[in-house]
Each structure stands twice: as C-alpha cells, then as structure tokens.
Structure 1
Amino acid sequence: MQHLPLIPAPTRIEIADGAFRLVATTPVSGELADLLADELHTITGARPHVGGHGKIRLRISGEGRSESYHLTVTEHRVTLTGADRAGLRYGIWTLVQAVRRSGEGWEIPALDIHDAPRFAYRGFMIDVVRHFFDVATVETLIDRAARLKLNALHLHLSDDQGWRLEIASRPELTAKASGTAAFGDSGGHFTQADYARIVAHAASYDMIVVPEIDLPGHTHAVGVAYPDLVEEPVLTREMLDTVEAFGGDVPVKGEPCTSIPVGFSQLRIHHEPTYDFLADVLGEVAALTPGPLVHVGGDECLGTDPADFAYFMERVTTLVAGLGKTPVVWHEAGAAEGLARGTVGQFWGLRSNDEQVAAKARTFPERGGGVILSPADAIYLDMKYDEDEPLGLTWAGFVSLEQSYDWDPATLIDGIGEDAVLGVEAPTWTEKLTSLEELDHMMFPRIASAAEIGWSPAPEGHAWRTWTSFSGRLAGIAPLWEAQGIAFHRAPGVDWR
C-alpha cells in the first residue's frame, strides 16, 4: 500500500490513480485561501491566484466532529471541507504535505481523506525558564507545531532559575528575578503585551496557551523577589551532586539560582501572605489567558511534608477553579486528597508503569478530571537521542526516534483507559538548550511521534500506524521541513535520502 508523506496519519485515506497538476495559475478560492496559497508558495516557489471559483476550493461546513475535515483530490479539482476553522486548517496542512514533484512541475495525488483527531488535547511544552526564548522564537515554534496538528502550547513560566512573566501587582518578580538563567546565562521575561502577542499568535492557529506557574516547589526565583515567601533551600547530597556534575552555584535563599538541581525550594505553606501573593499572580495569569487551563505544577516537592503539600495543593487548585479555569498539575499532586474537582493531571513518569506513580495518576479521572500523558522516556524532547548526542540530558535514559513512537496512550498506565486520557503533550526542558537551532534539533523529528500518537487512530487496524510506515513518511516529509527552515535532526533508523 502506498503511504504518502502525511504526518500525522489520517484516520481514513483512499489513494486513486492520477493526480491534480499544480501550475502557477491554479486558482484557490474559499475560506483560508490565502493561507493555502502562502504554503504552496513556500514549496513550489509560485503563489496561486486567490479568488473566484478556484479549482482548489476550501470551505467550512459547520457540521461534523470538531477539528475534522474531508479532502478530495481528483485530476480536475481539489475540494477541502472543514467542520470548523481548525478542521479546515488541518486539512490544509495535510494537502500541503501531499504535494510532490512531477518532472519539472508539481502535483497532488488523487485521494480521498476523512480525518479527525483521536484526542482533543495535543500539546507541546517549552521551558522558557532554564533558558529564556523571546517572542519571535516561541512564535516560530508555534508555526511548526501547528503544522503537525498540535493545538496546545504549554509555557513553563516560573522555576528556580527565573521568573518569566510580568505581573503588574508584583513588579519585583521581573525586576529582581528574571535577569538570569541556568549556568549564569542571561535571562529575560515576557511583558504582558508580549504574552498577549504569543496568545494571539497561537489563537490564529486555533491553538490554546497553557501557562504554568510551578508551585509550591521550583520557587527559588520567588524568593529572590520576595524572600519572606519562601523557606530556606533543602540541600540533600543528591542535589549537591547535581550541582557538582553540571555546574552552577549551590542555591542560596535570596540569590539567583544558576544551577539545575530540583526539589530544594518551597513556598512558605502556612503563611497567609503566600496566598495573597498567589491570588495576585494567578488572578493576572488567568485574566491574560483566554484558554481554559492554568497549570500550577505540584512536582518534585522533595522537602515538603506530605500533609503540607496536600493542604497547599487543595488551596491553590481551589483558587484556580474560582478564577474560572481548570487547574492542571503534575501527577505527583494526585496524592493530595483535596484537589479541586475536575483538576487535570499531567503524567511525566516512565513507561515502566510504577504502581505508586500509576496510583497517583488514576486519582484524576476518579475525581472528575482526566490525564495528559507525557512519558519522559518517550516524548521528553530534551532527552539525548543516544550516547553521541551533545545536547540534552539523560535522566530518563536515551530516547531514540523509534522509542518516541513506540507507545500508546490507551495502554500506558494500568487502570487509565482511552476515555480518561485528554491527550498527549511533548515537553522540551531547556537546561542544556539555548537557541532555536538546538530546539529544532531536539524537537524534530520526535515531536512528529507525539503528533501522530495524539491525532491518529490506535495502531491496531490502521496500516499506517507502524514504525516502518512512520519512518518512511518522515523521510518523505523532510524536503518540506527543509523548505520551512526547520533544522531537524536526521535521526538513525530513517532513510533520509
């Protein structure tokens, strides 16, 4: 069976004989016609005429499942119908991927596609704390992720190494705690206008932004701005070993953190000014964010008493819910009994399915929420590909491209079936990443695995949902990625020729 270079794999596809010939004068008409014309120009070098009754016709029907589309290509006409604007846009990305060389010209093979996402949430995360990335870089990553039908950007905005979002009611956060990054590199922050620009750019691709203020650990930077709100660092032998191995200074309360150990920082939990601070910060974050989700961390609170942790997570998730948002937390917070009902858990453990970790994750659907799956040894995109990779980290092991594709959300965690899974998210942490080129190298092509796992049907019964098919389609999409300027890694196991 012929497998066109389409990623993610469509739900249903039939390929016929013949092709639609693209020429410089091919007219495009309908909604989002300018977008398709721009995309075709990137590939072919010629921008089609927009308007009239084009041979390529685009429309939104207002019918069918959200984000779905129907694409039909014959020798004489291309018809693309989206159930909504997002569906039409996703159909455009598929259409663009199908364009291929034909002699000195270009063509689209005759086909019929009915397509819709398996999961509603298909995300990627960028850590802008360990190293800061400006608005233009974030917008570029949105552009690239959207073309793989991802629809959520999780922005990790606060951590030990810095604070990255202007909070008008708490100006010291950016005045004192935003200037540095990991290993003493320069930092930065987003003004509220910057953040609004990112949100608007994402929305133009029908993508939401999920801001994260990591609490109650990962909060050393809060103490640089407001020392009264944090405890003294808890420095274990393991944390000191991390500092020695990777560099930077041992954390000191009130001074910027230049190293990358985790679990040493904590807010003062039984201190009412802490909750005044959180009301200010989360109130502004929620007001700036039109999307439904606000992430409040809950991970790696290694020095926090379990009872104090549960008390804090109950208060902070209740606060977020009271702001009209759905709280999202890392899976460790499932141990807290009093979480606001409907809180979403994000799993970042390993695929070994440790029972203690699984038990925490299972609490979220039991309490009216769901889970977002980010298995670290599959789609943490900052993990090294192999022992020869100079970038990234290895705490979750080496993660090859094939390994990033070798898992299924419905069977990842015992007791969490497909109905409880909201979707998939591929995080990129940036302790060792400092530029767009390095982000490209680590994210691509593995982000394509996450995109296909989030969008496409389960492997059983779908001929394209195999490693052999996926690797072949990746090779076919490489020229498009080159045309789009993506500095992707030519990972072993794919015949990139």
Structure 2
Amino acid sequence: MKIIVVMFALIVFFAKDAIGNRDTLNTIIPKPLYFKSVPGNFKINSHTVIYIEPGKGDIKAVGNQLLDKIYDITGLRLQLIEKVVSSGSNSIRLMTAGVTDSLGIEGYKLISDRNSITITGESAHCIFYGMQSLVQLMNNSTVKSVVPAVEIYDKPRFEWRGLMLDVGRYFYSVEFIKKMIDRMAMYKMNTFHWHLTEDQGWRIEIKKYPELTAKGAWRSETQYIRGPIGIDKHPHGGYYTQEQIKEVVKYAQSKFITIIPEIEMPGHSLAALSVFPDLSCTGGPFKIPGQWRVEKDVYCAGNEKTFQFLEDVLTEVTALFPGSVIHIGGDECPKDRWKACPKCQARIHEEGLKDEHELQSYFIKRIEKFLLTKQKNIIGWDEILEGGLAPNAMVMSWRGIKGGIEAAKQQHEVVMSPSDFMYLDFPQGEAHLEPYAHTRRILPIQKLYAYEPVPEELESADHKYIKGVQGNVWTEHIHSPEAVEYMVFPRITALAEVSWTHPSLKDWKGFSRRLEYELANYDRMGIHYAKSHYNVWFAADVDTVSAIAHVNLEAYSYEPEIRYTLDGTEPTVNSVLYIKPFEIKLPITVKAATFRGNKRIGSINTRSFAIIE
C-alpha cells in the first residue's frame, strides 16, 4: 500500500509540473492527470502487432476497435494476437497486469517509446480510455503513424460525465444518436441522457400502449422562431422501436457509455395525454403542441389509472436499459390543474399532504418506490426537491446551483447541470453572429471551461455527493443534425475537461492550444462545428464629454491574431494588428476579425460608437 501511495503522490507532483514546458506536446483532451513527453517516438507500420491477454473477450473487443481506428487513421491493417508478452519491439500491448491501484476503476496508464506502446488498466473500460488518448496522439501527429514517446497516468475526477439530447421536441435518427455516442467516447464521457418524452412528442415504443407512438409521436406543426409567424406547418415526428433502443444501448455499451432514459412526469406529458386524456385532470381533449411553452395539463396525481399507466410504461423501459438509473423529469409541473381537480384534492386530504408541492413529492416518491422493485434508482430535475425529496433520489441541478447544494446537504447524490454553464442550446456568442436561439443568455466556450462543479458553499464532507456534470441540448430551435453539431462542438471539449480533469491542472491557454488540434480533426471528420470562439468581442470605455472611447478587443481562441479597421471597410490580413487597447474619436465604426496566416478564421464583428446628445 505504501508503494501505491507514493506512486499517487508522484503522479500529482508531476501533473502539476506538466503545466510547464513538458506539456507543450500534450494534445489530449481532456487533459490527463500526468503527462510527460520523453525523447523519441514509436512508428506504426504494417508489421506492428497488437497483443492482448488470452481469454478476455471484452479487451479483445477494445483491441478490435483499436485495429479499426488505426486503419482509419493510417490505412494500415494490423494483426491482433491473444498472447501475454512482457516486452517486445514493434508492438502495442493492452494489459490488465501491473495496474497502479491509485488510478481506480476508470484510470489507465499509457507508455510509449521507440519500441512499443503499452496501455494498462484495471479493466477493458480503462484500456478503452487509454485507447482514446492514443488515438488523439495519432490524429494530432504530423505523421499519423508516428506516436510521440510519452508517459501518461490518468483517471477522471467525476464518475458522471454526461451529455443530454432532447429528442422529444425534435426527433433524431438512430444513426445520428450513434454518431453522438462515438463523439462522446472520444472525450471519455460515459453517460448519455436520452430525453425520450415531451409535450411535443413520445419517442419510445411501449408494446402495451402502441397508441403512444402511433399517435403521440407525431405533430402537425413546429415552431422554429418565437411568435405566431415562426410556425412550420409541415408534420414532424418519429420514434424508436424497442429493437432500435436495444441496438443503441448495445452500441453505447461497446463505448462504455451508460444510457439514462428520461420519461417525463408529472409535467411535460401532453403527448401521452393526447392519446390517453383520461389520465389528465380535465379529461381533454388535447392536441400535441408544435409550440414551445410550459403546458398546464399534466398527469392527474389523484387518479390511480395514472400510476398504473406509468408503472406499465416503466416496466418496459427498465427492461430495455441496463443502467441503474432512470430519469423521471419532475421539472416545470404547473399546479393549476391539481388545485382545481377533485381527485387531486382528495389525494392531498387522504395522504395528509400540506399542498400541491407535497402532492408532487408524493407522486415522485411513489414512482421511486415502484422503480426500486426493478432495482433502479431515480434522478430528477431539481424541482423534485419541492415538497420533500424521495429517499434515494439523485438530483440534477439545472436552475443554478442552489438545488444541488440543498440536495448534497441532505446527503443525496447530485449531477450539476446549471443552465448558465451547461445548456448547450444557449448561443456561443453575440446574437447577430449566431443561429437563432430561444434565449439571449450566452455561453461561450471559455465560460463553460471555467465552471467549477463543486460549489464553494458546500462543506468539504459533502463534496462526495457531487457525482459529476452534464451538458444539455434542448432542441426547441435545433432542427437538424448539423444544428446539433454546431451547438455541441467544440463546447463538448470544455465539458469533457471540466468533468475529467482536476481543477488544479486546468489552464485556459493550454486548453485553447489543444483545441486547435481537435478542430483540424473535426474538419477531417466532417463535423459541422461552431467557430464562435474565433469571433472578436468588444469592450469599450466611452467618455461622452471628450467624445472618445478606449476600446479593447478579445477572442476566446489560442493566441488570436486580431485585425481591425476604423474606416468602415472589412478587415483583411493587411489591416491593423491589434496589440493593446486603443483610443478612438467618436463617432466611428470599428470592424474586427481574427486571422491565421493569410486567412480570416472568424466572422467580422462590428461596433459603431456614436455621440449621444
């Protein structure tokens, strides 16, 4: 044990040192716990062999994925052999022997030198993460078959490293879901939250209730911008069969990603109520809305049929998803109908509840009790705190950090997902440079990167209840795979580093340098990513008396080359290079953009400064 403790101390020591010069060759996202570049490199060629321990099918599956990755990157088709080799030239070894205990259940060690590459981990899971780092080193190498000689010891900070995609409001294909899972795996993320039901659509086949998808998966219109004119009258819909669900779950398992399904309740349930209006308080009828708003019609908490229906649904859902957690929503449930509903009021009286908030708590606790019979725990949005938290519930804190703090103080596990830092449907820059969004709240990549998931307000003893972080993609106004990619990439890289890397090792400048390698990979992969971090931001101190302004220009990219004009023309590579804040006489228009070499890489941003009488 003493050896293990000493090893961990060395890892932490060198990880801090790696921020210095030796980190300049580190191109890996998320940043490893310890990275050291050493002289030399390993050259993969057609005679290179991948060795794995015999009889370990899960590691063989990882080895086969590595074979495919190497072929995709280099065009070389290598051989995989099940054989234990203690050393050997021109080899890549995937091993569980000689694991450092301090790296835990998801950590790995990657050592490359002139003769070989060795990835070591406690399990196939760990080796898979080591493989992702190896793949990044190859992708980011000038010669793709040449791997720099390095020593890496690595493990994650948090156990929940998640991404949510809302397919309830807009349906996305199985093929696209798999692509997103692949891209999560690139960054060692391990939880895909699948938002499957909404007011605007029911996306999962339930065999006992085929009407849910026959009718509830389709709507007649879709709102694409706010206001009455922003309505697309073309029908939209779709759903996943149970066989497709199984296919996606199996695929995610091969990438060591757990899928958390979300079945919304008591609110956000109008798609189901349009099919079964007797489960509501009013009896309907209802139409699946194409517009985005919080609907007042929710499941009736006083109706026993509601719970029988949900138990039937969850029985089929739990059989499809092997993970230990089911997301039950719990957010944005207006109490208007419950207040006027005789059945709900009778339930409040019979159960000795104080009000409708406690009625929602009763609802969630009853669902939790049922799911425990299926060996599943629940997680819900932070509204499930209202009226009293269910005994074993996890909380996903989205309305800021207050809910997460409250839940952790009650010794409940928490996933931090505050909208200001984790909502990837928020625009990445100024509105006039970005696609339409439902909010003016901005989430630049640098802001996301700076987020610290463990609130300062928490006592150290409660830190252990913060299980991780999650980014969310709500799709009210995101209506194509390309639009999803634009909102997710490259911000997913910052999300991954927040969830994996120890905060003492985070470094914006180093991250932005490593991000440049990833963007080149996105170009090769055909990912429709945002370049918003290249756009110029203006900050100005205006003196209206003297009619002058002091202007500062900034871009959230690595060592940005900003050029600007003051004569109304668009900036070019020959325009003035921004070096420091400058003074201008009003009125004037400033235009600025970032460049690299002889090419503009950011959008042109414009500010007009006027004299206001």
TM-score (normalizing by structure 1): 0.88
Stretch of structure 1 that moved more, 407-416 or 161-170: 407-416
Stretch of structure 1 that moved more, 168-177 or 49-58: 49-58
Match of 2:378 in 1: 327
Equivalent position SS for 1:133? coil
Match of 1:188 in 2: 238
Shift of 1:395: 3.3
Unaligned runs of 5+ in 1: 234-251
Q: Distance in 2 between matches of 1:368 and 1:282?
A: 26
Which one of the candidate residues 241, 261, 279 is aligned to 1:211?
Answer: 261
Q: Distance in 2 between matches of 1:168 and 1:365?
A: 38
Contact 1:376 1:396 (8 Å CA) reproduced:
no
Q: Does 1:316 find its partner at 2:361? A: no
Shift of 1:89: 0.4
Equivalent position SS for 1:433? coil
Match of 2:115 in 1: 76
Match of 1:98 in 2: 137
Using CA pairs below 8 Å that are at least 6 residues apart, which structure has the higher relative contact order?
1
Shift of 1:62: 8.8
Letter in 1 for 2:557: V
The alignment yields a C-alpha RMSD, in angstroms, of: 2.3
- Change beyond 3 A, Cα 1:314–1:105: closer
Which one of the candidate residues 481, 494, 497 is aligned to 2:557?
Answer: 494
Q: Distance in 1 between matches of 2:98 and 2:292?
A: 49
Match of 1:45 in 2: 75
Deviations 1:81-122 (A, max 9, x none): 121111100000001111267776642111111111111111
Contact 1:342 1:368 (8 Å CA) reproduced:
no
Q: Distance in 2 between matches of 1:169 and 1:479?
A: 48
Which one of the candidate residues 165, 169, 172 is aligned to 1:126?
Answer: 165
Larger Rg: 2
Stretch of structure 1 that moved more, 431-440 or 211-220: 431-440
Q: Does 1:421 find its partner at 2:462? A: no
In the TM superposition, 1:174-253 aligns within 5 A as 174-180=213-219, 182-183=222-223, 185-232=235-282, 253=285
- Change beyond 3 A, Cα 1:101–1:113: closer
Q: Distance in 2 between matches of 1:145 and 1:93?
A: 11
Q: Distance in 1 between matches of 2:122 and 2:278?
A: 52
Match of 1:443 in 2: 488
Stretch of structure 1 that moved more, 149-158 or 414-423: 414-423
Q: Distance in 2 between matches of 1:334 and 1:389?
A: 38
Which one of the candidate residues 52, 56, 66 is aligned to 2:92?
Answer: 56
Match of 2:197 in 1: 158
Q: Does 1:372 find its partner at 2:394? A: no
Q: Does 1:406 find its partner at 2:450? A: yes
Shift of 1:264: 2.5
Letter in 2 for 1:93: Q
Match of 2:63 in 1: 33
Match of 1:271 in 2: 303
Match of 1:138 in 2: 177
- Change beyond 3 A, Cα 1:146–1:318: same
Shift of 1:162: 0.8
Shift of 1:367: 4.7
Q: Distance in 1 between matches of 2:425 and 2:456?
A: 21
Shift of 1:414: 4.5
Equivalent position SS for 1:56? strand
Letter in 2 for 1:128: V
Q: Distance in 2 between matches of 1:361 and 1:140?
A: 31
Q: Distance in 2 between matches of 1:100 and 1:316?
A: 47
Q: Distance in 2 between matches of 1:17 and 1:76?
A: 12
Q: Distance in 1 between matches of 2:263 and 2:161?
A: 20
Which one of the candidate residues 1, 7, 18 is aligned to 2:40?
Answer: 18
Q: Distance in 2 between matches of 1:90 and 1:232?
A: 52
Letter in 2 for 1:191: T
Q: Distance in 2 between matches of 1:230 and 1:415?
A: 43
- Change beyond 3 A, Cα 1:281–1:480: same
Letter in 2 for 1:217: G
Shift of 1:489: 1.6
Deviations 1:432-471 (A, max 9, x none): 112221111110111111111111112x2x2xx1111111
Equivalent position SS for 2:454? helix
Shift of 1:477: 2.1
Equivalent position SS for 1:411? coil
Q: Distance in 1 between matches of 2:285 and 2:448?
A: 38
Q: How many residues align?
A: 467
Shift of 1:200: 0.6
Letter in 2 for 1:397: R
Unaligned runs of 5+ in 2: 1-20, 53-59, 224-232, 337-355, 534-555, 561-595, 597-613
